[in-house]
């Protein structure tokens, strides 16, 4: 009888209000995270521009230097090779591979350290 005495309009209103609050908070949270993402992306772009201006590139080095017109192709190739080696040697190359050596005889999986020891009498 209690089931029939329930005021279903109040139940529906409370359910709709609860769902409304939950989805409103989720929408606000998404907007806040988007704003943080935009703010940090602009900050990262500024840092990248500062690092790019301080790091020598072949274009910046060539613009700042004057090459005489009587330089041969071998001289230009040597300069280009030296610039390439200088600019690309600043970073280490890593394989980004994690190697896990599995040792089968550890204390975690050894039968000697088992809790349930059988008595062999």
What is the C-alpha separation between 84 and 61, in angstroms, rounded?
11
| Integer CA distances (angstroms), 99 to 14, 77, 96, 102, in order | 55, 40, 10, 9
Tokens 């209103």, residue located: 13
List the pLDDT tens digit at each of the 121 positions of the chain.
Answer: 566 677 889 999 999 999 999 999 999 999 999 998 888 887 777 777 776 666 666 666 666 566 556 678 888 888 888 888 877 765 666 667 777 776 666 666 666 666 666 666 5
Residue pair 107/113 in contact by the 8 Å Cβ criterion: yes
Domain assignments of the chain as residue spans, ordered by start: 8-66
Specify the pTM: 0.36
For residue 13, give the H/E element and its range. helix 8-54
| pLDDT (0 to 100) of residue 107 | 65
| pLDDT (0 to 100) of residue 66 | 60
Instruction: Annotate 19-66 with DSSP letters as a single string.
Output: HHHHHHHHHHHHHHHHHHHHHHHHHHHHHHHHHHHHS--HHHHHHHS-
């Amino acid at each position: 009888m209690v089931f029939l005495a329930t005021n279903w309009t109040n139940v529906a209103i409370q359910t709709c209000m609860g769902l409304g609050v939950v989805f409103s908070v989720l929408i606000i949270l998404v907007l806040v995270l988007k704003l943080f993402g935009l703010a940090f992306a602009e900050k990262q772009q500024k840092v990248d521009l500062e690092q790019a201006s301080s790091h020598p590139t072949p274009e910046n080095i060539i613009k700042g230097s004057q090459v005489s017109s009587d330089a041969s192709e071998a001289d230009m190739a040597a300069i280009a090779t030296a610039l390439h080696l200088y600019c690309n040697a600043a970073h280490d190359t890593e394989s980004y591979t994690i190697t896990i050596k599995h040792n089968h005889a550890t204390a975690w999986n050894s039968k000697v350290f088992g809790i349930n020891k059988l008595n062999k009498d």
